[in-house]
């Protein structure tokens, strides 16, 4: 029979109400919640998203200027045979391409994406220094020429339009008013149109080529309509000129985009740094000479050399040398840490002093790779309110275009002059502001992600901001969160083979207790391991089938623990029994220490929500009195079942660290992987908190909730602005000149709101 709660093999004599269970922990969970936790809805498997199969490549895309660019790049990329998925992020100007390496060469990807009219390159390729001179020249040209155009209108035409001055009063300067000034306006506006507005027309042309309408299409139509109509009027000799409208649109858009770029760079600086450094090369001795190799070319246990100032390319152990390592990117620790021979270093940290020889592990891995991937996925994700803003931006442009055309025709059909109808049409086009939907919301999430990184917190899920609503329950794993997980063996009971065989088995397990036991001996090797998550492991050592684990493991196996071997219970100690060939012959005791300050942290958490302790240990020890509810001795699947049940009562946050916690981290509304989380736990979590600072849990909540509030402020303003401005323009009550100013001001306001301080924790 299988356990009714988690599906693992049931143990003999562990039944309750006719239901079999694998351990006393699962039976205890059933006793607490009753039959409801065994219902089909409660045990329903956690839904997972199946990622497309293929190799992944991350590229930087220069020239993106609107969320519609995302659709264009993705659509055209998928037309290439061999590219199975494409995802772009306007906020970070990056793209993730999933491709079939047998059909597409990775080196060809930048060229393929560049066909869309943008400049694509691999994230790890050093970008040419951004030349601010051309944007600055366009900015200065736009400001100076548009200001000159406006001054000429203020001096000669606006007073007449407003009835302040009669045209007859300007008759002494007839040649100036009717010839010189219109000619000057034509020349100045032409420079603005054919030089300063080139980026706008380029974006509009890209949209037309791909049949993806964007903000540049609206702007280009309005600019060309005002400019073209004015040229016609100029040659007809009338003064119904709208060069000021075209000049103002170009100027305010150029100014807005200049500051927008700066805001985006500031918001994504930390993520950009990680993406640039994602694929470092490694210096190794091979074939008698020093070579620079990519990470995927390294062999397990190979030695790499890292000089001062270089990025450490892969996780490993220092075999020679000592150094000061900047770990701020991984742990949030602001000061370099001294590492010496025998210490472990993480790929993605930087050697700021000294030279090192590092031995990579049996599996070549770099924390930086995982970090870059989860950060990109977080930033590019479209979920909840972010997805709403993205959808609005994509359908907004064609709707506004049709609306503006209808407004112009309606005005003209009701007796308005062509000029008046054109003004109403242009005002409707210009005043709409889809950029507030397409930029400001992802920009705010980028700001939140950036601030979190500076505080040593990694937001790994794009919808984490939406998940951080009012929290009802906070579930915490004990080992590694409330305790240090620095397990040490304090006692070995039994014959010498107990330590030898147990060390061989546990060497193949990633559990903290297993690591402590594995250090006891290295004379034996194990094969054919079978890990029973939360209980222990079994493997073949020499000619014996050796089992190492808790009472629950041996209860499940049906092995009886002899009375003379039964270990005494202890609050802080964990007893791992060891046996082979059906007989238990000894036990090994490992001890852990509570993490300093845990009582204050738990007390503060209890003021915010109900707290629940989940642990695979058979006793909660000194932690028992500090929680609202305790669940001991439960396997990973049992923890996930508890989380599912708690979710029926409100929003649940799960805080764990190891692979054993991955199911419950994924099951929770908000999963937080703490400490030195394993890859499996990090993949399942929404937030990763490296290091050992428990108080970063509160900083995490503050950042998530503050960012969520800011996102909703931006979305509310974008909706309110368009709901007010567009009807005014449709009624013909808004001049295109003021529409351009309103549109630009709206975008800049949202960008400013996105970029301003989120809270006092930014300086922590």
What does 614-646 look like in DSSP terms, one character per residue? E-SSS--GGGGGGSSEEE-S--HHHHHHHHHHH
Question: When comparing pLDDT for 664 and 211, which is higher?
Answer: 664
Please state, for a pLDDT cut of 90, what percent of the chain lies above it. Answer: 12
Give the phi and the psi of residue 497 in degrees, each rounded to 5. -65, -20
Question: pLDDT-based confidence at 573, cuts 50/70/90?
Answer: confident
Question: Which pairs count as long-range contacts for 110-114, CB under 8 Å and 24+ apart, including other chains?
Answer: 110/59, 112/77, 112/80, 112/83, 113/59, 113/61, 113/73, 113/76, 113/77
Mean pLDDT for all residues in the chain: 79
CB of 552 within 8 A of CB of 11? yes
Ranked by mean pLDDT, the top range of 282-296, 532-546, 672-686 is: 532-546
Question: pLDDT-based confidence at 315, cuts 50/70/90?
Answer: confident
Coil, helix or strand for 694? coil
Quick one: pLDDT at residue 513? 82
- Give me 498's structure tokens: 């107990």
**Cα gap 16→231, rounded to integer Å:** 89
Active site members:
477
Threshold 0.75, pTM exceeds: no
Question: pLDDT-based confidence at 50, cuts 50/70/90?
Answer: very low
Every domain range in the chain assigned CATH 3.40.50.1000: 457-483+597-704
- Give me 390's structure tokens: 């993205």
- Listing from the earlier edge strand, what are the strands of the sheet with 316-320? 289-294, 281-286, 303-306, 356-360, 316-320, 344-345
Distance of CA 487 to the CA centre of its chain: 33
Q: For 63-75, how does the pLDDT look when each residue is reduced to its tens digit (9 = 90+)?
A: 776 566 777 788 7
In the predicted model, is pLDDT for residue 690 greater than 90?
Answer: no
Please give the torsion angle defined by the CA atoms of residues 593, 596, 598 and 603, in that order, rounded to the nearest 10 degrees: 140
Q: Is the dihedral of CA 25, 31, 35, 36 positive or negative?
A: negative
Quick one: pLDDT at residue 658? 61
**Cα gap 631→624, rounded to integer Å:** 10
CA proximity to 209, closest of 393, 390, 68: 68
Quick one: pLDDT at residue 40? 43
CB of 576 within 8 A of CB of 550? yes
Lowest mean pLDDT among 12-21, 303-312, 563-572, 632-641: 563-572
In the predicted model, is pLDDT for residue 272 greater than 70?
Answer: no
Neighbours of 348 (CB within 10 A): 24
Ranked by mean pLDDT, the top range of 28-32, 202-206, 668-672 is: 668-672
Distance of CA 146 to the CA centre of its chain: 40
Question: Which pairs count as long-range contacts for 670-674, CB under 8 Å and 24+ apart, including other chains?
Answer: 670/464, 670/467, 670/468, 670/471, 670/704, 672/697, 672/700, 674/480, 674/481
Domain 488-591: CATH class, spelled out: alpha beta
Quick one: pLDDT at residue 541? 92
At the second CATH level, the architecture of 457-483+597-704 is: 3-Layer(aba) Sandwich (3.40)
- Give me 713's structure tokens: 């402020």
Quick one: pLDDT at residue 30? 82
In the predicted model, is pLDDT for residue 389 greater than 70?
Answer: no
CA proximity to 214, closest of 226, 225, 205, 223: 205
Quick one: pLDDT at residue 481? 82
Q: For 584-627, how does the pLDDT look when each residue is reduced to its tens digit (9 = 90+)?
A: 999 999 887 778 888 899 999 999 899 998 887 666 667 777 88
Please provide the CATH number assigned to the domain covering 55-122. Answer: 3.30.70.100
Mean pLDDT of 404-419: 87
Q: For 157-207, how does the pLDDT look when each residue is reduced to its tens digit (9 = 90+)?
A: 878 876 788 878 888 888 888 899 999 999 999 999 999 999 888 878 877
**Cα gap 618→626, rounded to integer Å:** 17
Lowest mean pLDDT among 25-39, 44-58, 378-392, 640-654: 378-392
Question: pLDDT-based confidence at 385, cuts 50/70/90?
Answer: very low
Question: pLDDT-based confidence at 292, cuts 50/70/90?
Answer: confident
CA proximity to 14, closest of 751, 639, 2: 2
Quick one: pLDDT at residue 548? 94
Ranked by mean pLDDT, the top range of 47-56, 516-525, 754-763 is: 516-525
Q: Is the dihedral of CA 649, 651, 656, 662 positive or negative?
A: positive
Quick one: pLDDT at residue 384? 47
CB of 379 within 8 A of CB of 445? yes
Every domain range in the chain assigned CATH 2.70.150.10: 281-365
- Give me 359's structure tokens: 């031995």
Question: pLDDT-based confidence at 764, cuts 50/70/90?
Answer: very low
Coil, helix or strand for 158? helix
Mean pLDDT of 481-505: 87
Q: How far, in Å, are 197, 337, 463, 719 from residue 387 at the CA level?
A: 30, 41, 10, 15
Q: Is the dihedral of CA 734, 737, 739, 745 positive or negative?
A: negative
Every domain range in the chain assigned CATH 3.30.70.100: 55-122
Mean pLDDT of 447-464: 78
Question: Which pairs count as long-range contacts for 201-206, CB under 8 Å and 24+ apart, including other chains?
Answer: 202/117, 203/65, 203/66, 203/69, 205/117, 206/69, 206/72, 206/116, 206/117
In the predicted model, is pLDDT for residue 503 greater than 50?
Answer: yes
Q: What is the CA radius of gyration of the chain?
A: 33
Quick one: pLDDT at residue 260? 67
Quick one: pLDDT at residue 48? 41
- Give me 164's structure tokens: 């302040």
Q: For 337-346, how does the pLDDT look when each residue is reduced to its tens digit (9 = 90+)?
A: 888 898 888 7
Q: How far, in Å, are 318, 363, 508, 538, 679 from residue 298 at the CA level?
A: 16, 10, 22, 31, 20
Quick one: pLDDT at residue 192? 95
Every domain range in the chain assigned CATH 3.40.1110.10: 488-591
Please provide the CATH number assigned to the domain covering 281-365. Answer: 2.70.150.10
Q: Is the dihedral of CA 723, 729, 732, 733 positive or negative?
A: positive
Q: For 475-492, how does the pLDDT look when each residue is reduced to its tens digit (9 = 90+)?
A: 998 877 887 767 788 889
E strands present in 148-307: 281-286, 289-294, 303-306
Distance of CA 106 to the CA centre of its chain: 24
In the predicted model, is pLDDT for residue 413 greater than 50?
Answer: yes
Residues in contact with 12: Cβ distance below 8 Å, sequence separation at least 6, in sequence order: 555, 558
Quick one: pLDDT at residue 386? 46
Mean pLDDT of 676-700: 75
Quick one: pLDDT at residue 540? 92
In the predicted model, is pLDDT for residue 383 greater than 50?
Answer: no
**Cα gap 621→569, rounded to integer Å:** 10
End-to-end CA distance of the chain: 53
Neighbours of 562 (CB within 10 A): 11
Neighbours of 94 (CB within 10 A): 23
Give the phi and the psi of residue 353 in degrees, each rounded to 5. -160, 130
Question: When comparing pLDDT for 252 and 500, which is higher?
Answer: 500
Quick one: pLDDT at residue 249? 81
Quick one: pLDDT at residue 546? 94
């Amino acid at each position: 029979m299988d356990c009714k709660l988690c599906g693992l093999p049931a143990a003999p004599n562990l039944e309750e109400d006719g239901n079999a269970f694998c351990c006393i922990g699962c039976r205890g969970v059933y006793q607490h919640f009753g039959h409801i936790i065994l219902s089909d809805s409660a045990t329903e498997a956690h839904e997972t998203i199946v990622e497309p199969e293929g190799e992944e490549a991350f590229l930087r895309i220069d020239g993106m200027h609107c969320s519609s660019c995302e659709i264009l790049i993705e659509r055209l990329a998928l037309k290439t045979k061999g590219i199975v998925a494409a995802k772009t992020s306007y906020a970070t100007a990056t793209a993730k391409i999933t491709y079939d390496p047998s059909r597409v060469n990775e080196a060809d990807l930048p060229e393929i994406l560049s066909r869309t009219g943008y400049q694509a390159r691999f994230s790890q390729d050093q970008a040419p220094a951004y030349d601010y001179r051309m944007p600055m020249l366009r900015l200065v040209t736009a400001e100076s020429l548009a200001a000159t155009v406006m001054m000429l209108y203020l001096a000669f035409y606006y007073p007449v339009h407003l009835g302040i001055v009669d045209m007859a009063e300007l008759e002494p300067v007839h040649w100036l008013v009717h010839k010189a000034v219109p000619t000057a306006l034509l020349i100045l506006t032409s420079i603005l149109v054919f030089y300063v507005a080139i980026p706008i027309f380029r974006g509009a042309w890209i949209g037309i080529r791909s049949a993806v309408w964007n903000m540049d299409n609206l702007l280009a139509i309005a600019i060309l309509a005002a400019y073209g109509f004015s040229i016609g009027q100029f040659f007809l000799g009338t003064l119904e000129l709208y060069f000021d409208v075209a000049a103002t649109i170009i100027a305010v858009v150029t100014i807005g985009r200049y500051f927008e770029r700066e805001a985006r760079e500031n918001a994504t600086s930390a993520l950009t740094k990680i993406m640039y450094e994602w694929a470092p090369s490694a210096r190794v001795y091979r074939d008698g000479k020093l070579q620079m190799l990519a990470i995927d070319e390294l062999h397990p246990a190979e030695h790499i050399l890292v000089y001062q100032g270089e990025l450490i390319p892969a996780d490993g152990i220092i075999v020679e040398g000592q150094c000061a390592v900047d770990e701020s990117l991984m742990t949030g620790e602001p000061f370099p840490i001294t590492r010496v021979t025998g210490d472990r270093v993480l790929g993605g940290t930087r050697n700021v002093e000294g030279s090192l020889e590092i031995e990579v592990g049996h599996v070549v891995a770099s924390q930086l790779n995982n970090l870059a991937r989860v950060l990109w996925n977080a930033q590019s994700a479209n979920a909840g309110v972010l997805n709403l803003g993205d959808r609005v931006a994509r359908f907004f442009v064609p709707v506004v275009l049709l609306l503006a055309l209808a407004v112009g025709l309606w005005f003209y059909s009701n007796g308005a002059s062509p000029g008046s109808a054109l003004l109403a049409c242009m005002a409707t086009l210009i005043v709409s502001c889809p950029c507030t939907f397409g930029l400001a919301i992802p920009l705010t999430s980028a700001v939140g992600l950036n601030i979190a990184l500076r505080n040593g917190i990694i937001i790994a899920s794009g919808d984490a901001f939406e998940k951080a609503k009012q929290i009802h329950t906070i579930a915490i794993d004990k080992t590694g969160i409330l305790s240090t997980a620095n397990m040490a063996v304090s006692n070995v009971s039994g014959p010498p083979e107990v330590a030898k065989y147990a060390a061989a088995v546990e060497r193949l397990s990633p559990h903290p207790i297993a690591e402590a036991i594995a250090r006891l001996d290295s004379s034996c090797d194990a094969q054919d391991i079978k890990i029973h998550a939360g209980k222990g492991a079994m493997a073949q050592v020499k000619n014996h089938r050796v089992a190492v684990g808790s009472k629950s493991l041996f209860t499940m196996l049906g092995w009886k623990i002899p009375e003379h071997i039964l270990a005494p219970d202890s609050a802080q100690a964990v007893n791992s029994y060891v046996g082979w060939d059906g007989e238990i012959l000894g036990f090994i005791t490992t001890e852990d220490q509570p993490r300093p300050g845990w009582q204050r942290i738990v007390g503060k958490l209890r003021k915010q929500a109900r707290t629940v302790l989940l642990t695979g240990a058979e006793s909660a020890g000194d932690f028992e009195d500090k929680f609202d509810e305790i669940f001991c001795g439960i396997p990973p699947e049992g923890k996930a079942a508890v989380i599912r049940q708690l979710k029926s009562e409100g929003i649940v946050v799960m805080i764990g660290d190891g692979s054993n916690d991955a199911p419950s981290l994924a099951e929770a509304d908000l999963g937080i992987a703490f400490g030195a989380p394993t890859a499996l736990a990090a993949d399942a979590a929404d937030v990763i908190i490296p290091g050992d600072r428990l108080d970063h849990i509160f900083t995490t909540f503050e950042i998530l909730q503050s960012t969520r509030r800011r996102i909703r402020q931006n979305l509310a303003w974008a909706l309110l602005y368009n709901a007010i401005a567009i009807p005014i323009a449709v009624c013909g009550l808004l001049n295109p000149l003021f529409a351009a100013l309103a549109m630009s001001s709206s975008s800049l306001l949202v960008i400013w709101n996105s970029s301003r301080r989120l809270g006092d924790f930014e300086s922590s």
